[in-house]
Structure 1
Amino acid sequence: TNMGGRLEAHLREVKAAELIRTALRFYEDPEGSLLELARSLGVPVLEKGGTWRGPSGWGYDIVARTLDEKVELVSSQAYLRTLLNDALIDFLARVGVCGASRDEVRECLEAWERALSLSGTFVAQRVWYLFFDEENRRLWLSYIMRKYGLSAEQAEEVLDGIDVLPASKRRPEDTYYTLSARNMTNTEFPNHQLNVHLEYQKKSLRLEDLAEAVRVNWGPESLDLLLKMPEFRKAYEVTREIKAVLLEVGVKGAGELGEEGLRVDEWKSFGPRVKTMRGFTEAYNKFREECLKRAKNV
């Protein structure tokens, strides 16, 4: 399961915070300047200094006391659902971060926004390619037969029982760009199903052009940008141990794969996982409290 939308949201927050922190180094009054940006974005803060508090967009509130924590609050998806925000553009342009003029800043952020929107797609495509691209699939079949003593039919049954599952969609392209006739299941909430359908009704899409969209390179420049982010590389690259297995199988291009992928012991501290679980946990606790309160009343 590839929770692409949650990866994208986290990466956007990381990038926004990086840009804001860089800009603050050029402002004479960093917290005062951040306060102006916060108010422009609708963050519920009243004054400089003290503690700031506001929803994160992940299902929990952020309580910010230090300047760094306040940057995280301002950068959260509750207030910056896209980097193409006029208040952010003005904030960066005033000190020449991401471009020397407002137009250059916008152009820079447009490139980043497109890259971020493809981050989940790139991860789904990589996983699918490593296992289910035609040549790699044949290599895996041979490896499974050789390693586990299975027949060709049994090895086929094993691989046919595994799908890549893109989830947590944010836009129709998240579905259209990951279509494949083999080993791919796109999971859709009803509202996302509707958005996918409405996009098709515009008549700008030809399904025959997207039948194997998972094989298409949707933006090499965008991937190059994302690979500058350590948090993206954790999701997109492999570990040394996984790479060794891929090399043993003979997977195409395995030797060139980066080795900064997320290790098992790092999963508990990975940004999208931390934010998701904190939001789910707080939602559960609130629901539990409400159930107990009603039960006591009865």
Structure 2
Amino acid sequence: MQKEFSQLLSSKPAQLPLPAKASSHEDLVHKLTLAGHVNLAADHLLHPEMRGSLETVVGQTIRKLNLSVRRASCYWDEKGILEWFRAYEYLLQLSFSLLGVERKWVGFSEEEVLSSVKLIKEALSSWQEWEGKVDSSLPVSGVTLDHLLSDMKRPMSVYYRPPGSMLSKMAARIQEKMGDRLDLVRFLEVWREEFQSNLYYRLSISGLGKFGNDYALGLRWLRHLGFVQVSTNPVLAACAYEDDPSLWEGFAGESFCADFKQLSLGKTNPEELTMLATEVSIFPNLAVFRPIFLASGYQHGLVSYQLNPHVADSLEASLRDALRIYSDASDFLLKYDDYLLWGYSPALERGRPNLVFKVAGCGPASIQITSELESLGIGTNNTETYSVSQETHLILAKMEGRARAVKKGIRLTTCYETTMIGRLDDHLREVEAEVLLRRALEVLGREALGELLREMKIEAGGDFESNIKLVCDRKNLSPIHKEPFAKFLAKAGILGKTPEEVEQKLRVIEDDLTYAGIIVTKRVHKIFFSPENRKKWVAWLERKYGLTEAQAEEVISGIDMLPASKRKPRETLLTLSASNLTNTEFPNFQALVFQESLSPGFDPMRLRESMSWEVAGEVLQRLCAYEVAGECRKVLELTPELNQVLREAGVEADLGDGGMRPEEWPSFGAVQKTRKEFLGAYEGLKRKVLQRIG
């Protein structure tokens, strides 16, 4: 019976008619809630025009739901039980948003938030009292709690990466504090304590930083913590299907999102099917972020969509795919906005996607693709970017495209410039390790490589060269000071005569290399967005493109650096800024950062504008002295052409001119490795898609 009860409460939401029909906000919310669209119902109230009326509308909605719940307590039939469950979830989802960072973006006062939550708690308490009198053997509230906490645990539940997702750990702590109690008011208090004490919430609510999620699931919970962006790529799209198989068949969510089974009917083209599969994995996130995108004036709530990596070097093919996906997103959001924005000002733009496209900075074509998309008012997120020169070129391309758009009166969205910090660090480590290994093999002989493979418990992968790559691969040699590698180098007298001496030097190398991506991010941010340089770029935009000061400000204010693919908490904690910066990270990395925040004496307020802090000069000196010095120069310096542009803008940046030109980007090792991985992941997702349709 309990299983049947749970299945009933997981019923798919009813299909919504178009256009939306309601007599008032509370009428719309009531209808949406009973139809199972509880998130949409809760998000409908997250609008600036609701300021000053929130408590009234919440009370009116509770009145209508109160009648539905009371009816259910009298009849206790399937319809009533399901509506009761949905009423619980609506009030809880609304409370989460009012107690989360969303209230700041919408502009609700603390007074109206607290008074509205007080009404909600009173309703929850009385409904639970009725529930206990009807049938305590089938607690609707218990299933509600299980449903919510299970959803929190979903990210990385199958695609597990140590130490697991931050959200799953938060859910476990909430469960532990709740014990066997099914008190929803108590649950709401425990939830508030857990979320509002979280480092990300504290940094977001205080304006010290913005954050994004490198995963397609769990976004609604992270929104409450202040997360404003989500990134996807072929790897992450595949992960979403592992963690939530309902995306393949019978997607049980809401908000007009179709599942893959529906969308794939009649389709046979593998590329089109793979595109649809990716859309299915991220379109629900467009809905999650929709209210904060609109409330913030297009500043927050962007979803990054990875374009097909096979067409990354083709302007026409990339534009064709982007415009097709953008059109699909607009069609979906026009329906969604019909309900989300019902009753609000007709001047509000409906259907404009809160979507930006990930454009791989793997070659010269990326510059033109970036500029063209931005000129259409479609934001970009440059990825596969590792160097100061790459990112400087691409930010200039963004400026050029955004200037063309703003002159036509097109309102701009936030766009992003990714620094793949961890992947850059991995590349530099592999290069450094390979040089050291080859030097050791010159002393010990080629046959000694087999001994090292055995010591490191690595299965030989082919010829001599491929085995060298295998030893140095980040999957086998991270960190670089692993004991077998240190012993091997010591045996050859490389870096020292004893394993202990070599290991100590390798530890310093490892630590130094993990600053390279941080330095790239800091240098680019300083070039464009430091207080002294930002105003120079505003003036440059006015001169070069004939913009007004307000237009130039709009162009530059919406470009955010996006540090990503991180490995160590400091890669977030040392790159915080209130302007032009969003840190994005994996669910398991969020757990590492949160754990770091629990260290004795940790004070997030001391991290204010840590982006402006310089990395110690001796670290940079050592980087330029290691075997990997040539690679460091490629990523840390500019080019003669870029230095000329900076001089024209009046920006002083004494960073050298040994950086990579656009034609050199495709041959850079980190670009090649990431490209290979993304292509492989894309093909893997395509194979799964084709298997699904038989």
Question: TM bucket by the smaller chain?
Answer: 0.7 to 0.9
Match in the other structure for 2:622: 225
* 1:110-154, Cα deviation, whole Å (9 max, x unpaired): 211111111111110010011111111122122222222222222
Name the aligned partner's letter for residue 245 of structure 1: V
Question: Structure 1 residue 10 and structure 2 residue 410: aligned?
Answer: no
Name the aligned partner's letter for residue 222 of structure 1: V
Name the aligned partner's letter for residue 20 of structure 1: L
Question: Structure 1 residue 285 and structure 2 residue 686: aligned?
Answer: no
Match in the other structure for 1:84: 481
Q: How far is the alpha carbon of 1:220 from its aligned partner? A: 1.8
Structure 1: gaps of 5 or more residues: 46-52, 54-63
**Whole-angstrom CA distance in 1 between matches of 2:469 and 2:616:** 29
Question: Structure 1 residue 236 and structure 2 residue 651: aligned?
Answer: no
- Residues 22-41 of structure 1 aligned to structure 2 (within 5 Å): 22-27=439-444, 29-30=445-446, 32-41=447-456
Match in the other structure for 2:655: 257
Structure 2: gaps of 5 or more residues: 1-417
Question: Structure 1 residue 160 and structure 2 residue 577: aligned?
Answer: no
**Whole-angstrom CA distance in 2 between matches of 1:151 and 1:284:** 43
- Structure 1 residue aligned with 2:508, among 97, 111, 126? 111
**Whole-angstrom CA distance in 1 between matches of 2:690 and 2:584:** 34
- Structure 1 residue aligned with 2:522, among 91, 104, 125? 125
Q: Would the aligned equivalents of 2:487 and 2:498 in 1 still touch at CA under 8 Å?
A: no
**Whole-angstrom CA distance in 2 between matches of 1:279 and 1:171:** 22
Taking a change above 3 Å as real, the CA distance of residues 89 and 204 of structure 1, as seen in their structure-2 partners, is farther
SS class of match (1:187): strand
**Whole-angstrom CA distance in 1 between matches of 2:565 and 2:466:** 27
SS class of match (2:584): coil
**Whole-angstrom CA distance in 2 between matches of 1:227 and 1:181:** 31
**Whole-angstrom CA distance in 1 between matches of 2:633 and 2:548:** 37
**Whole-angstrom CA distance in 1 between matches of 2:688 and 2:647:** 53
Q: Would the aligned equivalents of 1:84 and 1:109 in 2 still touch at CA under 8 Å?
A: yes
Q: How far is the alpha carbon of 1:90 from its aligned partner? A: 0.5
Q: Would the aligned equivalents of 1:38 and 1:74 in 2 still touch at CA under 8 Å?
A: yes
* 1:174-205, Cα deviation, whole Å (9 max, x unpaired): 10010011111111222222221111022342
**Whole-angstrom CA distance in 1 between matches of 2:469 and 2:636:** 24
- Structure 1 residue aligned with 2:568, among 171, 179, 197? 171
Judge which range, 270-279 or 149-158, deviates more: 149-158
TM-score where L is the length of structure 1 = 0.87
**Whole-angstrom CA distance in 2 between matches of 1:77 and 1:117:** 13
Name the aligned partner's letter for residue 257 of structure 1: L
Question: Structure 1 residue 267 and structure 2 residue 682: aligned?
Answer: no
Q: Would the aligned equivalents of 2:422 and 2:565 in 1 still touch at CA under 8 Å?
A: yes
Q: Would the aligned equivalents of 1:121 and 1:178 in 2 still touch at CA under 8 Å?
A: yes
SS class of match (1:205): coil
Q: Would the aligned equivalents of 2:563 and 2:583 in 1 still touch at CA under 8 Å?
A: yes
Name the aligned partner's letter for residue 544 of structure 2: K
**Whole-angstrom CA distance in 2 between matches of 1:100 and 1:125:** 37
Name the aligned partner's letter for residue 270 of structure 1: F
Q: Would the aligned equivalents of 2:486 and 2:502 in 1 still touch at CA under 8 Å?
A: yes
- Structure 2 residue aligned with 1:43, among 454, 458, 481? 458
Q: How far is the alpha carbon of 1:294 from its aligned partner? A: 4.5
Q: Would the aligned equivalents of 1:42 and 1:79 in 2 still touch at CA under 8 Å?
A: no
Q: How many residues align?
A: 274
Q: Would the aligned equivalents of 2:636 and 2:655 in 1 still touch at CA under 8 Å?
A: no
SS class of match (1:170): coil
- Structure 2 residue aligned with 1:188, among 575, 585, 595? 585
- Structure 1 residue aligned with 2:465, among 68, 71, 77? 68
**Whole-angstrom CA distance in 2 between matches of 1:289 and 1:119:** 36
Match in the other structure for 1:19: 436
Taking a change above 3 Å as real, the CA distance of residues 293 and 143 of structure 1, as seen in their structure-2 partners, is closer
Q: Which has the larger radius of gyration?
A: 2
Match in the other structure for 1:48: none
* 1:48-82, Cα deviation, whole Å (9 max, x unpaired): xxxxx2xxxxxxxxxx42x3332111111121011
Match in the other structure for 2:597: 200
Match in the other structure for 2:82: none
Name the aligned partner's letter for residue 264 of structure 1: P
Q: What is the percentage of aligned positions where both structures have the same residue?
A: 41
